[in-house]
Structure formats: structure tokens, C-alpha cells
Chain A
Amino acid sequence: MRCAYGLAIPASDTRFFTPEPFLRLPRPGSGNPSRISIGSFRIKAKINEARKETSFYELLGIAESGTLLEIKQAYKQLARKYHPDVSPPDQVEENTERFIQVQEAYETLSDPRSRAIYDRDLSMGLHLAFSARRRSQYHERSEWKNRWQSQLSELKRRSMNKDAKGNLSWGAQVRRQREEASKKP
């Protein structure tokens, strides 16, 4: 299972995000230890890759505080420059790749929301391509579902004890009084 940052959690499996199965994670010697080590290797490789790449701002040639207008202008300029139709035949491959990167950069930075998320990642030292995030958004939704399911079970657990004598809140007191009143014959 992939989470938002494109890192694979070893023993990749959805059960990981519920409280109990932590204790059921594969112990060394059982399961597939080789899978785990490959996983961590992949993690390291991905992180290194992410750290080395140029940021979207560098790609577009603007400052990190660039306005929407500047982003648009830079994008238009570069798009015209790198479009496969206008590039010389020997540079088509490289330019197409550049073009796609520029496209991604523009998509991320022109939407204030995704730009905010991207800026935050950048400040933490990670640059991740938009496409990786897009793929992760789908998984994000299924992660959300796991999360709120667990939140619901926790709430249910809490609600069993909510009106215990120790709880002095106004609501608890009124509810206790009502309970006692209804028990009387």
C-alpha cells in the first residue's frame, strides 16, 4: 500500500493502519524478510531521488514566491520552447520529457491548494512529482476510510463510559439525572 509520500511501508498491507495488528507484524525469521529489506531499499532510493531533483520553481525559472502571473508566463514560455512539435528532431525525446515536467509543474503550482501542499513538502526537503501525488490521492481516500472507521470504534468505546460518575460535565450530569429519574417506578 502506498501512502501519500510514495513510500512503501514494509509488510505492505492495509491491516497496518488499525491498532491491533501492530503486534501481528511479521517477526524476523517468519514471513518474507527479503521482501522487507527490498522495501526499505526502495524507500531509500526514492528518497534520494526526490532529494536530488530540481524543484518545480527551478524548473520554471522563477522564485519560490512567484505570483500566479509569473508562473503562467514562465509556463507559456517553456511550453513553447519544449513542445515536441517545435523541437529539432534530435532533441524531441528530451524535450518531450521536459515538456511533461513543465506541464506538471504548472498544474501543481497554479492551483493554490496543491501549491500549498507542494511548498510544505519542499520545505521539508522533499520534492515529489505531481503524478505521484495524484496516484496517492486515490489511496488517500481509502486511507481516510480506514482512519474514520477506527475513529468510530474509538468513539463507541468512549461512549460506553461517558456518563460514569467521574465525568462532571454539565451534559453528563443532566443525562445521569435523567437516567435515574427514568429508573424510578
Chain B
Amino acid sequence: MNMVVCGSLLSYHSLPRLLKPQRPALWCKKQFCVRGSVNKPDAEEPRRIMIRKENEGWKIDFSGEKPTTPLLDTVNYPAHLKNLSTQDLEQLAAELRADIVYSVAETGGHLSSSLGVVELTVALHHVFSTPEDKIIWDVGHQAYPHKILTGRRSRMHTMRKTSGLAGFPKRDESVHDAFGAGHSSTSISAGLGMAVARDLLGNNNNVVSVIGDGAMTAGQAYEAMNNAGFLDSNLIIVLNDNRQVSLPTATLDGPASPVGALSSALTKLQASTNFRKLREAAKSFTKQIGGQTYEVAARLDEYARGMISGSGSTFFEELGLYYIGPVDGHNIEDLVTIFQKVKAMPVQGPVLIHIVTEKGRGYSPAEAAVDKMHGVVKFDPATGKQHKPESPTLPYTRYFAESLIKEAEDDDKIVAIHAAMGGGTGLNYFEKKFPDRCFDVGIAEQHAVTFAAGLATEGLKPFCAIYSTFLQRGYDQVIHDVDLQKLPVRFAMDRAGLVGADGPTHCGAFDITYMACLPNMVIMAPSDEAELMHMVATAAAIDDRPSCFRFPRGNGIGAVLPPNNKGTPLEIGKGRILTEGNRLAILGYGSMVQQCLEAAHMLRTQDIYVTVADARFCKPLDTELIRQLASEHEILITVEEGSIGGFGSHVSHFLSLTGILDGPLKLRSMMLPDRYIEHGSPKDQIEEAGLSSRHISATVLSLLGKPKEALHFKP
């Protein structure tokens, strides 16, 4: 029978001898608590030990069922970590790893980033006390161990599901989540704000911001560090360097070489350049031995002091942060020592602790994978093989990439730019074909947009592939550098509309609104993958002004693709009518057109025939089509998967300006509601937003005076 004594090492095979607790926690002496696991007395097999300590570290056996986690079971809140010894913390880290792997294997989500920070999380919660102390996780996809240790372990199976845990820290979810995250590089800014507030209010807590090397490529991190150095408020910044620098979506062939100058700087920090200086000094020392040793020794001392106070840490020191590191990010003892020492100092000012970790550490399929299993769907823990659902069609992203490649084959002026999202935007495929014409600028959307503008001034045709939500970061550049100067930059906005499990932080709700209000921009949205290919061609052809098109997350609907994936440019400002009907017209924009067609299909069973049109363009609007629909129907409904101020607003503005609204026409606009839609499955989100085909049919029926018929349609 296996027995576990609180606060000591896991059991051995050779029982029934009682375990010797190695280093019992102090409080354990008073109450000797033994948790025995129930085994049938005549059990044939001895219980397998899944998590064992070996010489170099803890080994977890992933080949079977989820292992028992006796120590982790005792931890529900960070307070429970305080009394554990270093040995226990290491065991806890191993159990936490196992828990994360098995949990993410069930739900999908972000795996390897969490695995890389297990030791860091354990050390932070051991030394600091949330919620009084604040721990801010940048981006937040590595916060799974944090969530487990702060009372949400029992809900981990609901991760990223409707009404379940969010995939990122969320202030509404727990007091231990100090700041919501999702976009990167905000942690230092937020942390500085909390630190300054603490100073003004006269409080005494600690503030820790954890940021990765990838997130460091964004300008906001520098803005924050610069300000932190200037204000000199006590703040601890942990730079979690897993040497990916640029999201590890990798190229198709292997890991991408680090992006930019930042990575070489970080490499230098890790590769002991200072020791080179020291060695040269040592060489000259040996030459002069026998001579003026005092002076030589003093010179060496100077070198050494310069080296030790972290002057080899380049820009961090220049910005006013005290640099400590590099530190082995998987050594709990080291981490705890450093955090305790820094916490205990009377006044620290801003301190940057540079830890080096390995992404996916402790789970060999992740360590070996090209993309390190950064974002995964359900997988098998024993092998790491993901259960990717079979689908007859490819994602929209892929269709975009293929058609862009086709355009680029014919026109060598076409170049593509993305911001550290080669895999997410599909531009990895483009890069494979045209490695010189694909630019990954790191997590720097602002730079990406102006960079594209610069390319456009010289006659190139830049395609900026940035997610709808991330383009928000570069909005001023879109207005000031691209639109104002009327430069022909093409924006391909992926993940437009609701995005499912990632939630509101990644939702592309606002792009129609923020793009359509710009005077020179051409705005289009395809209703299916074939239209997408045509719009890529259209955008490539628009050479006198900026243009953009948006497409959603998800797979195509199975439309017939143009031959050879080569689209043909559409006539600008012309939509199309898909089905004809009477009395009522539905004008859809973008992928919502599919929902409109479904609604029309449902309504036929009620003997109602509606016209469905695909607007294709939000700017310039197909005014002829709208006039025609307005004159031939009593009621016009516009549908879009965007916030207020988008397509519907432009249509109603047009109708009012032209005086059509003075007439008998009834106008209704369906759009995303004026609130954030929580994460969940795409189906649930559409239902929540009120934009499913059922909702559209219900709207039609109520406008036609038959509200009760809507109950015929089952959700």
C-alpha cells in the first residue's frame, strides 16, 4: 500500500516499511497526517510509480493513466505552498507538469509555454503572496500552472470551454489574476502602474511582471522599461527567455532562426562574453607575473566589478533596470533564493531577473516538436499525437496563403509581412516559396504597418497579414502612414469576427468599424473561400489606394475554387444577389452570408421566400444594389459579424442621405451586441451573439408579423 506523509517525498516500492520522511515540514511534526491510498489487499500488480526522482531530476511517466499527485492534492491556494521545503517544491513541480499535460490533452490549449514556467510559478507562489502581491503574466497563455495553484485546479477540464476557465488570466475569474492578458507586452506597463499606485497609497506589497523574450520584441515593453527606470519604483521584472524570440510557429522545415538583433544580444548574455574580457585580462596578468602584480590585480578587479554588476547586460542597465542573471529557470532552489533575497532588500528599484527556460520542458514530444506544441488540440499524452479533426475543407488561412502564392508567382513585386505569426497567418507556406519576400518583424504591428508603407512607396505590393485584433495595435499607423498618404498597402485580416476558445482578447469584432471610417480604404469581405481567392487578386490589382479584406477563423464551406487557386479581380464596389425572393431582403457582409442563406432555407419551410444578397464591399458600397433592394422590397435587413459602426451603419447612412429612409422602407441592422462575448465554442458564441441562422429567421418572422413561427426552429 502506498503511503504518503504530508510534506515529504513520494513513496517507494519496497513497503510495508514506513517511509522515512526526508525533511518533514515543521508543522507536520505536530500533526502527523498520513494519507493512504486505497488498494485492494489482494491487488495483483504493485501500483506503478509514475513520477519518480532520478539523478538529474524528476521523471514523469506519461504512458499510462494520469499519475497520482499526492503533494499537488494538498495545495489549493498559494498559502499551502509556504511551508514546503525545496525538495517538496521540486516534487510539486513534477506533479504540476503531469497535471498540465493530462489536462491540456483533454481540453486542448497552450501546452509548452506552461511547461516551461512550472518551476517559476512554484517559486513565485512560494515566495510571494497573491493576491496582496501582484503577479502579472504577459500574454497569459503560460498561466495554466498559476491557475492550478490558485484554486482553479478542479475546473481545469473546462479550460477554454463555454462558461469554463478562460485561457488567459482574467480579473473577473479570480483575485489572484492581477491583470487580464491576451495581447503581448503589456505586463511591465501594468506592473509599473500597480507599483506606482502602491507607492502613492503607501502600501507595501510586491509587484512581479513575467514577460517572455518574444514579448520583449514589442515596443511597448521598452516604453515600459524606460518609464520604470525613470520612476525608480520597486518592481520585479522576470524575463523568461526560452530562446524562441518570435512565436515558435516556426517555418515548415524547422525552428526559425531568431528574429532580429534582440536574440543575438540575449545569446551574448548567455554565452559569457564577459569571461572573454576576463580571460584577456588574465592572459596579460600571467605575462606580468613577477612584476607589478598589485596594479594588474587592481585592473582585473575593475574588470570583474564591471562584469559582476551586470554591465554586460547592455540595454537593460541603460534603461535603468538592475540586471540579475542569467539564471537557470528550472532550478527551483536558485529561483527561490533570488526571489527571497530581492524581496528582502529594503529598496530594490526596478530589477530585471533574466531566467533561461526550455519551452515544453519535461514532456519529450513537446521538446522535440518543431513548434514545441505551443497551441494544441486534444492529444494523446503517451505520444503527443494530436487528434486533429478531419475536415473536407481547409482553413481560410490556408486558402489565403495559397492564393497569395499564386499571385506572387505572376507578380514579383508582391511581398508579405507578418508580426511573429507565420503559422497563424499561413505565411509560412509563402515563406517556403519566396523566402526573400516574406518578412517577420517580431511582435511589432506598428512597425509592420509603417514598414509596409515604406515598401509601398517604392512600388512594391505589400500584403500585411495581421489578425484583426492585433491590427488594433497598429491603428494609428494605418491611418497616418497608409491611408492619409493613400499608399497601396493590402491588409489581410484573419480571425475576423468571433474566434471561439481564445475569447474576447482575440476577437476581431471591430475591424469593419475601424477600417470603414477611413476615407481612402477599400474594404471587402468574402463570403466563402472562392470569394477570398478573388479578393486576394482584387487587392493585388488595387494599386492606387490601400485596401483590406477580412476573413474568419475556421474552415471553408466547400465552395468551388477557381482553377489553379488563381483568383480573378472583382469589380470594385459591386455585390451580388444570391437568391431571389419578395417582400424582404437580407444583405449580408462577409461569412455571415452563409448564415443568411441557411436562414433563407429555413424560411422556405414556412413558405416565405426572401432575397439574399452578398454585399462583398463595405467601401465603396454597391449603391446600385442597395437602391434596387430598397425599391423592390418592403424590408431590408443587414447582417455582419462586427460591432456597431460597421457595415450596417454605412448602409443606413447611405439610405438616410439619399432620402430612401424617408420612404416606406423598413431597415434593421444585425450585428454583434454591445458587450464582449465570452470564450466558448464558435457555435455557442454565435448563439450568444444572436447572429445564428435561427436568430436571423426569427428577426425576419417578427418583422413580417409572425413572431410565434420562430419557435418552430430548434436551436
Instruction: Write out, one digit per residue, whether chain A residues 63-87 have a CB within 8 A of any chain B CB (1) or not (0).
Output: 0000011000000000000000000
A28 and B290 contact, CB distance less than 8 A: yes
CB nearest neighbor in B for A7: B279
B282 at the interface (CB under 8 A from A): yes
- Say yes or no: A144-B253 contact (C-beta < 8 A), given A5-B276, A159-B345: no
B275 and A3 contact, CB distance less than 8 A: yes
A89 at the interface (CB under 8 A from B): no
Q: In whole angstroms, what is the CA distance A148 to B258 when docked?
A: 25
Among A18, A36, A110, A111, point to the contact of B286 (Cβ < 8 A): A36
B301 at the interface (CB under 8 A from A): yes
- Could you say which residues of chain A place their CB within 8 Å of the CB of B272? 3-4, 140, 143
CB nearest neighbor in A for B326: A144
Among A115, A154, A172, point to the contact of B308 (Cβ < 8 A): A154
- Say yes or no: A155-B200 contact (C-beta < 8 A), given A113-B267, A145-B334: no
8 Å CB interface, B199-252 against A: 199-200, 202, 230-234, 243
CB nearest neighbor in A for B303: A22
B230 and A169 contact, CB distance less than 8 A: yes
A116 and B279 contact, CB distance less than 8 A: no
- Could you say which residues of chain B place their CB within 8 Å of the CB of A160? 346
Q: In whole angstroms, what is the CA distance A10 to B256 when docked?
A: 40
A171 and B323 contact, CB distance less than 8 A: no
Least CB distance, B104 to chain A, in whole angstroms: 26
- Say yes or no: A171-B234 contact (C-beta < 8 A), given A22-B300, A113-B243, A144-B328: yes
Stretch at the interface among B6-14, B165-173, B347-355, B606-614: B347-355
B275 and A4 contact, CB distance less than 8 A: yes
A131 at the interface (CB under 8 A from B): no
Least CB distance, B302 to chain A, in whole angstroms: 9
- Could you say which residues of chain B place their CB within 8 Å of the CB of A43? 283
A150 at the interface (CB under 8 A from B): yes
- Could you say which residues of chain B place their CB within 8 Å of the CB of A22? 297, 300-301, 304
Least CB distance, A58 to chain B, in whole angstroms: 21
B324 at the interface (CB under 8 A from A): yes
- Say yes or no: A117-B267 contact (C-beta < 8 A), given A3-B272, A112-B258: yes
A170 and B232 contact, CB distance less than 8 A: yes
Q: In whole angstroms, what is the CA distance A170 to B328 when docked?
A: 33
A14 at the interface (CB under 8 A from B): no
8 Å CB interface, A127-156 against B: 140-141, 143-145, 147-148, 150-152, 154-156
Among A7, A68, A158, point to the contact of B254 (Cβ < 8 A): A68
Q: In whole angstroms, what is the CA distance A147 to B307 when docked?
A: 9
Instruction: Write out, one digit per residue, whether chain B residues 661-678 have a CB within 8 A of any chain A CB (1) or not (0).
Output: 000000000000000000
B3 at the interface (CB under 8 A from A): no
A166 at the interface (CB under 8 A from B): no
Least CB distance, B263 to chain A, in whole angstroms: 8
Q: How many residues of A contact B (CB 8 A)?
A: 56
B325 at the interface (CB under 8 A from A): yes
Q: In whole angstroms, what is the CA distance A8 to B285 when docked?
A: 14
A152 and B308 contact, CB distance less than 8 A: no
A154 and B309 contact, CB distance less than 8 A: yes
Instruction: Write out, one digit per residue, whether chain B residues 332-349 have a CB within 8 A of any chain A CB (1) or not (0).
Output: 001000100110011111
A162 and B279 contact, CB distance less than 8 A: no
B231 and A68 contact, CB distance less than 8 A: no
8 Å CB interface, B250-292 against A: 253-258, 263-264, 267, 270-272, 275-276, 278-279, 282-283, 285-286, 289-290
A36 and B304 contact, CB distance less than 8 A: no
B258 and A152 contact, CB distance less than 8 A: no
Among A5, A27, A163, A178, point to the contact of B202 (Cβ < 8 A): A178
Among B232, B286, B289, B323, point to the contact of A172 (Cβ < 8 A): B232
B324 and A17 contact, CB distance less than 8 A: no
Q: In whole angstroms, what is the CA distance A156 to B349 when docked?
A: 11
A175 at the interface (CB under 8 A from B): yes
Among A68, A113, A169, A178, point to the contact of B232 (Cβ < 8 A): A169
CB nearest neighbor in A for B275: A3
B602 at the interface (CB under 8 A from A): no
A116 and B267 contact, CB distance less than 8 A: yes
A156 and B345 contact, CB distance less than 8 A: yes
A167 at the interface (CB under 8 A from B): yes
- Say yes or no: A175-B310 contact (C-beta < 8 A), given A7-B279, A145-B334, A152-B341: no
Least CB distance, A53 to chain B, in whole angstroms: 20
Q: In whole angstroms, what is the CA distance A112 to B275 when docked?
A: 23
CB nearest neighbor in A for B304: A19
B327 at the interface (CB under 8 A from A): yes
- Could you say which residues of chain A place their CB within 8 Å of the CB of B233? 170-171, 174
A50 at the interface (CB under 8 A from B): no
A9 and B327 contact, CB distance less than 8 A: no
B400 at the interface (CB under 8 A from A): no
Cβ-closest 7 pairs across A and B: A169-B232, A171-B232, A112-B257, A171-B233, A162-B347, A150-B308, A159-B345
Can you give 5 contacting A-B residue pairs, CB < 8 Å? A27-B293, A144-B325, A150-B308, A151-B309, A178-B202
Residues of B with Cβ closer than 8 Å to A?
A: 199-200, 202, 230-234, 243, 253-258, 263-264, 267, 270-272, 275-276, 278-279, 282-283, 285-286, 289-290, 293, 297, 300-301, 304-305, 307-310, 322-328, 334, 338, 341-342, 345-349, 351
